[in-house]
Amino acid sequence: MLHQLDLFGGEPLQHPEKKSAREKKDKPIQVSPPSSAPQPPANIEETITAVEEPKESTYVDAAFIQVPDDEVLFSKLYYPISDVAKMFNVNISLIRFWEKEFDILKPRKNRKGDRLFRPEDVKNLKLIYFLLKEKRYTIEGAKSFLKKGKKVNEQFETIELLKNIKSMLLELKAGLS
């Protein structure tokens, strides 16, 4: 005999053997309320005030980038792909994919085939990361945006400068509290 599990806490139902349609119509179906139904809160105002405000979702990814300043970045000639992936907090495969898709990325390769990124390549990756992750451009949109050239770099540098100022002001605000 087949048994059906009742997901709402009742006893398992047993399927009767094949019955005619008339017998099925005669018996009403009984549904029992769940035994552990969630109770509404006693005071809804307390629940509403306990909810946190949403965080900035637009620049959430920007907080995870750990690219050093230009002075530190240009202190080394080459960075291995693993270090670059850690800077951007992404997988190595994503860096390789971006290398294939964007012509401005041309890392050098040693005899073994390991990719070595120059500081200029890291700065280009930072621009690509900004377009794809923060501005939410598609690959094709980012490619066409990069073809515009000089205007793009000026705009990106201005945004980076404003982000640095914002973080400095937030640190000052936290210090005052």
Domain residue spans of the chain: 61-146
Domain 61-146, CATH number (from 3.90.79.10, 3.20.20.60, 1.10.1660.10, 3.10.580.10): 1.10.1660.10
Give SS3 for 115.
strand
What's the pLDDT tens digit per position in 107-157?
Answer: 999 999 999 999 999 999 998 998 898 889 999 999 988 888 766 667 777
% of the chain beyond a pLDDT of 90: 38
Q: Which of 20-24, 92-96, 114-118, 130-134 has the lowest mean pLDDT?
A: 20-24
CA dihedral sign of residues 97, 101, 104, 110: positive
102 forms beta bridges with none
Distance CA 105, CA 88 (A): 15
Distance CA 105, CA 96 (A): 10
How many residues would you count in the chain? 177
pLDDT (mean) for 61-90: 85
Question: What does the pLDDT read at residue 59?
Answer: 45
